[in-house]
Amino acid sequence: MSKSQRKRHLLLRLIIAIVIALLLAGSLFFTDRIESALGWKEDSAIPLPNAKELRVHFIDVGQADSCVIELPDDRKMIIDGGDVDAAAGLIDYIDSNIFEGQDGGFDFAILTHSDADHCGSLDDVISRYPVEVFYRPNVLASYSGFDDPGKEQLNGEYSSKNTKVYKEVIDAAYKNSDSVVVTDADDDTCNVIRPEGLQQGDAGYYEINFFTPTKDSYKDWNDYSPIMILEYAGKRIVFSGDAEKENEAEFVDLAKKGQGKFSRFDENFTVDVIKLGHHGSDTSSSREYLDTLTTPDSCASLVAVISCGAGNSYGHPKPEVLARLADMGVKEDNILRTDIVGSVLISVKIENGIASVVVNDKTITTVRSRHSWKKTVIILITVDFAVIIILPELAAVPLSAKKKRRK
Ligand SMILES: [Zn+2]
């Protein structure tokens, strides 16, 4: 073959390789459909038995926090109760959406920490709707000589908080609950909540696991907040109150060690919904924390909820946090801010044996895949160029020429 013929052949092969590479790259626009067709989607797993839906209400209480969870076994949980000015609106929401005008009570109330924007109206709520088990932080209520009824229950070297609002909620907790426990992820008597009489795999089985706090005291009041994951029908929702750097780092560290219940946090572990810590402050939601709870693939369907007030003076949510989410591939439509959309209702529904996450009546399609079409395309393009350009080039050099060169 003459030199000019070889050049022409090389050019032709280069064009063919580029066309194939472009076709492969174009297929990335259909990643979703291709992964479904190849059966790589996790949702094509074994059908689930029918069971009731799980409903999580992230209630708009302005620059504060309150969630109510309706569990599939009809038990009810409240996490935090807004600020002192939220009582009327919060009770009205609970009256009309949870108990529908009937008498009732909460099976669980969780006060994540002692700040006013979380405990402010919880005393009013539990005075109206009494509680079976109340979870309190490991912080003594010491306002104006108040004798905290739970002093003997507190662990190790606890701190004490001298505010009226915290004293009032602790006082109300002991008056309106069957039992009060101190939140402690190491305490096996209260660090997991499951339905009574059901086993894993049964219809309606769920778990709420507490992963932090594991220390008795923290520098910042916010860090007493538990990181909890609610899991139902393979879907996971994370709550973390106002947990900040210290608590998140503790969680990431334990997840890396992978001992005991932390063994679930392998590289494939993902959650479906994250309630962002501390109203979307940049002192929470560190990249390491978010990476522990997601995979690069899962971020496209991840739902992030931010509880914050319109025009709040803290600038929550912080642009840095929103940029972090965008960088991870979280879709703007899947970031739900209570200052913009008001209260948010997230349900986990099981239809035809498939569980799905529904946000304000809109189903979120899971993009969690066992294998990645994107990675496959990169490998195929590399192989394409190798087979069409490089291999024939190597083969085209005669053996005698190679020998000659060596001389
Ligand atoms: Zn807060």
pLDDT at 361: 83
- Measured between alpha carbons, how far is residue 236 from residues 32, 232, 239 in Å? 21, 7, 10
Q: Tens digit of pLDDT for each residue in 303-334?
A: 999 999 999 999 999 999 999 999 999 999 99
pLDDT given at position 7: 83
When the pLDDT of each residue in the chain is averaged and rounded to a whole number, the result is: 92
* Same domain for 308 and 389: no
Q: CB of 193 within 8 A of CB of 108?
A: yes
Asked whether residue 216 falls in the same domain as residue 133, the answer is yes
Question: Range with the lowest mean pLDDT among 139-148, 195-204, 223-232, 244-253?
Answer: 195-204
Q: Do residues 96 and 20 share a domain?
A: no
pLDDT of residue 157: 92
pLDDT at 403: 53
The alpha carbon of 118 and the centre of ligand 1 are apart by a number of angstroms equal to 6
Query: Which residue shows structure tokens 């005698």?
Result: 400
pLDDT higher at 42 or 16: 16
Beta strands in 323-371 (DSSP E): 335-337, 344-351, 354-359, 362-364
pLDDT higher than threshold 70 for residue 186: yes
Two structure tokens written together for 355: 């569980």
What separation in Å is there between the alpha carbon of 11 and the centre of ligand 1? 64
For ligand 1, the distance from its centroid to the CA atom of residue 65, given in whole angstroms, is 6
Provide long-range contacts, Cβ within 8 A and 24+ apart, for 159-165. Answer: 159/217, 159/218, 161/114, 161/221, 163/114, 163/116, 165/84, 165/116, 165/119, 165/120
Residues 52 and 29 in one domain: no
**Same domain (yes/no): 266, 189:** yes
pLDDT per residue over 255-274, tens digit each?
999 999 999 999 999 999 99
pLDDT category of residue 49 using cuts at 50, 70 and 90: confident
CA of 279 to the centre of ligand 1 (A): 6
CATH label of the domain that carries residue 169: 3.60.15.10
Residues 91 and 110 in one domain: yes
Report the separation in Å between the CA atom of 183 and the middle of ligand 1, taken as the mean of its atom positions: 17
Instruction: State the Cα–Cα distance between residues 132 and 167, nearest whole angstrom.
Output: 20
Phi, psi of 345 (to 5 degrees): -110, 120
Number of domains within the chain = 2
Residues 145 and 32 in one domain: no
The Cα 404–Cα 384 span in angstroms is 31
Query: Residue 370 — pLDDT band, cuts 50, 70, 90?
Result: low
Output the CA 64–ligand 1 centroid distance in Å.
5
Share of the chain above pLDDT 70, in %: 94
Query: Is the full-model pTM beyond 0.85?
Result: no
Q: How far is the CA of 222 from the centre of ligand 1 (A)?
A: 7
Q: For residue 136, how far is its CA from the centre of ligand 1 (angstroms)?
A: 15
- 390: confidence class by pLDDT, cuts 50, 70, 90: confident
Q: Ligand 1 centre and the CA of 61: distance in Å? A: 11
Residue 36 has pLDDT above 90, yes or no: no
Residue 50 pLDDT: 77
404 or 72, which is more confident: 72
195 and 323 belong to one structural domain? yes
| Same-domain status, 61 and 98 | yes
Q: Which residue range is the domain that position 399 belongs to? A: 3-40+373-406
Q: Are residues 128 and 240 in the same domain?
A: yes
Output the CA 99–ligand 1 centroid distance in Å: 26
Higher pLDDT, 230 or 364: 230
Task: Answer yes or no: are the C-beta atoms of 112 and 81 closer than 8 Å.
Answer: no
Under the phi-then-psi rule, with left for phi > 0, alpha for psi from -120 to 50, and beta for the rest, what region is 172?
alpha
The average pLDDT across 326-346 equals: 96
Task: Tell whether 268 and 306 lie within a shared domain.
Answer: yes
Residue 44, pLDDT score: 42
Are residues 36 and 153 located together in one domain of the fold? no
Quick check: 19 pLDDT over 60? yes
The arithmetic mean of pLDDT across residues 78-90, rounded, is 97
Check pLDDT > 70 for residue 397: no
